[in-house]
Amino acid sequence: MPRDAVAIAVVGATTLIGEELVRLLGERKFPVGEIRLLGTTRTAGRKIDEVTVGLVGQSAFDGIDVAFFAAGPAVSGEHVGSALRAGAVVIDASSRFRLEDTVPLVVPEVNAALLTRAEPPRLVATPSSTAVGLAVVLAPLVEAAGVRRVVVSTYQSAAGAGRRAVEYLSRESIALLSGRGEDDATQVRRAFNCIPQVGTVEIDGATTYEQAVADEVRKILVQPDLAIHVTAVRVPMFFGVAASVAVELERPLGLEAAREVLRDGRGILLHDDRETGAPTPADVIGSQATHVGRVREDPTVPGGLALWIALDSIEKGVALNAVEIAEILIRRAS
């Protein structure tokens, strides 16, 4: 792979994540030689900053070094193979390959080593933004004290469900505030409401999403037996994700030591509630850190430690993670 003029493809260039990927490649002075924006028949032909979105397909990846996939799992399932066959390294932001044994699931702060092995991977998956935040925060705790169990309740924005969900929240909020009533009475109200269901409810009562977040965290931390219970809730925010997390450490740390471990954790920005207040999702939009606040001992269980996480679900949660993976692979290859 060339170090100075990397040919990039972005599949799903019109999605929230695709747009943020392109923006970050510019902001971080990524050594882009060519950038090819790709989409499905629904979006191909649109223009983004004078560049026309091409149609993803068999020959779309000719000459591409790195292909980012920022469309849904179906598009990844259909077209990642073509990109790999064309010789590109693929970084997939969809859920399609995250839990496949042969595909590394990478959060650079935690397991970048997977990218610098003798035979670097040609297909890398980035986790869901919730799993990224949890992995960044749990990794140093696992190392310092061991983690026996984690109970998580999330506060997730519309952005996680895509651009149309963001627009829907906006329209429905305006409709309610202007007294026009609900935009679509056949749907559960999303504006000024909390919906405790992200994904489909499975037979055991967990949703597909909750199960996936737990599995992704276990995979990233290489803790296959980690007890992690997730309740995922959609809240009426446009961007960002937060989580209330109750951890049970194997070896109790004490509050000050726990704060020290978190403060030193890679990618963590620890807040002092009594000085700056706890981080909120709106505060951390545009930030590339995983923000942690409300750290306190939980005296209701041995080794109990409670904390709050907030991060930019699109930027830190997905796009930055994907770009950082590409940066490491390029440094490795050259």
Residues that bind its own copies (CB under 8 A): 149, 151, 153, 155, 170, 173-174, 177, 188-189, 192-197, 201, 204-206, 227-229, 231, 233, 235-238, 240, 242, 244, 246, 255, 273-274, 277-278, 280-283, 293-298, 300-301, 304, 306, 308
CB of 61 or CB of 168, closer to its own copies: 168
Euclidean distance between CA atoms 40 and 56, whole angstroms: 6
One-letter identity of residue 325: I
Q: Which residue is listed with tokens 């950038």? A: 35
* Cα gap 60→30, rounded to integer Å: 21
Q: Yes or no: say if 107 and 268 are a contact pair by the CB < 8 Å rule.
A: no
CB of 195 to its own copies, least distance (A): 5
Tell me whether residue 235 or residue 319 sits nearer to its own copies (CB atom): 235
Beta carbons of 59 and 31 less than 8 angstroms apart: no
Least Å from the CB of residue 40 to its own copies: 30
CB of 109 to its own copies, least distance (A): 23
Question: How near is the Cβ of 266 to its own copies at its closest, in Å?
Answer: 23
> Smaller CB distance to its own copies: residue 30 or 308?
308
Kindly tell me which of 104 and 281 has the beta carbon lying closer to its own copies.
281
Instruction: Report d(CA 224, CA 165) in Å as an integer.
Output: 33
Which lies closer to its own copies via its Cβ, residue 197 or residue 287?
197
Measured from the CB atom, the residue of 65 and 172 that comes closer to its own copies is 172
Name the E strands within 163-237.
227-231
Beta carbons of 334 and 1 less than 8 angstroms apart: yes
The tokens for 164 are 């149309």
Question: Would you say 124 or 305 has its CB closer to its own copies?
Answer: 305
Residue 334 is encoded by which pair of tokens? 């050259």
Minimum CB separation of residue 54 from its own copies in Å reads 33
Strands 6-11 and 32-39, bridge-based pairing:
parallel
CB of 92 to its own copies, least distance (A): 29
Question: What is the spatial distance between Cα 290 and Cα 238, in angstroms, rounded to a whole number?
Answer: 18
Query: Min. distance of Cβ 22 from its own copies in angstroms?
Result: 24
CA neighbor of 21 nearest in space, from 116, 123, 121, 91: 91
